[in-house]
Structure 1
């Protein structure tokens, strides 16, 4: 496969930075989180935002959608939401004598799934197929979701009453899981000074078309990943499975997700090659939610982030080799 040229990497980084700056007008003081979210989009993955209420999860999702000149939709997940409310329904038309498919809100370039853990497991599972294959099967007929397609889901970890924990199979479909967190002092003052503006994302103008997003994703796939880096990812994957606190470690899908994400991360920094540091930088947001800890270890206080940090420090990174 053709490797990305240095000129293409420079253009990619410039475009990426412009998107970060545009989204940063709506989500103040969160450049790193914005970069993670855009990396997720350009790696053609899905993002799970878990944070306390009022930290800007929905604002981030809206700002990303507003920066891309495509369709967007928002699904407010509630206990009474049905799978057909997400995917769409087939209705019989008496005039034509045929069944017509009415697409649901999941058929959009960027789908905001607000408080996804408040819907029943049956409704949550309606997203599984479309998140993995970008298509939905309704009444035996497959319907393509198109490209780009990204689900940005939010959940509140504080209020667990009346919520349904996402199963591991669905968590594994999210390329990344991260949190927005509270803004710093200067950003908070700036937010308060513009309190008259209810939604900063409404003032954003699209910087990039959906076709350009797809082209950037294809370009990022051309970033060179040395065999030594791939072996490093493989060793890390094996260590997550062998860790005594872990019941189920990172899957092959998780390892592939990390490689895809590191390629975008490298291109976003103007490089056409992946470094071991890219792997270390993205390991937590890409792998942190994929661990299933042993119940006894979890009861004793084990945390997946702590276990992953130990693995990253124990496994030696390869020496840097910049190009093929």
Structure 2
């Protein structure tokens, strides 16, 4: 890989690590056409081995289970909601780990559980997503540990909101953003829990920023760059080095694919590249995802054009809002309307 491309990948890793919450910004994505294996998240790749009594037993198969209907005191609906489209056919990430005293073990595993459900932001109301997470917690733990996990969830939701606002400006320097996030995390979680929850991500982010600066330094020779980057990498714990290597693979695949597209590669050539890199089944899933994204974007573009026409033709604000609501209801399903409204809010 060219050194400049590697610098871009390292900076991409830094920005991903700085996100911290996993899904601070809404990511528009269509529902999967068919169940597909989910790639391991970085938190999954770096999940520590637990030695508590609760964790000593073999883990049961992780699969999505419906939330209990009408559980008292949880704010759950009387009947379980259908899963959001993007979560259907997928396994629930993360875990709720309880120590031998019955207390919650605070660590990245529970953030992975939160982030799994929060990845459906925009597909259903925030209260429904929170209710799903609470139900998932209480399926996996009870008593004091469950209450502690729910309290941690509410702190995490507050942190996500604050972190999203802090990172909204595109001109924010990644290093400055890391400093802001470190401060926010300690405000919301305290020093000890912030370190348990985000310590690995912060170390990884700092290393990625260091490597990106080294790779972009014109005063260094290629050999000096390689030596300094290798030194930064060697200073990381082994589990973080393995996680970074795993995270680099899809980023490298994306960079190579973008280069092929920029060079005018055909759809057949892109597919052949994907088959060579990720295998035929994953290549087919990526092709289907491309088609779904293109169709969704086409619908959004049509909606934007029709909305702009309404704005030009209708001067009365109340009548314009009514016409836009009618257009939204006509063009999108209730689930899709949540996603479109989220996009409109983000565009303001």
TM normalised by structure 2 equals 0.27
Whose radius of gyration is greater, 1 or 2?
2
TM normalised by structure 1 equals 0.28
Q: Which has the higher helix share?
A: 2
Q: Which has the higher strand share?
A: 1
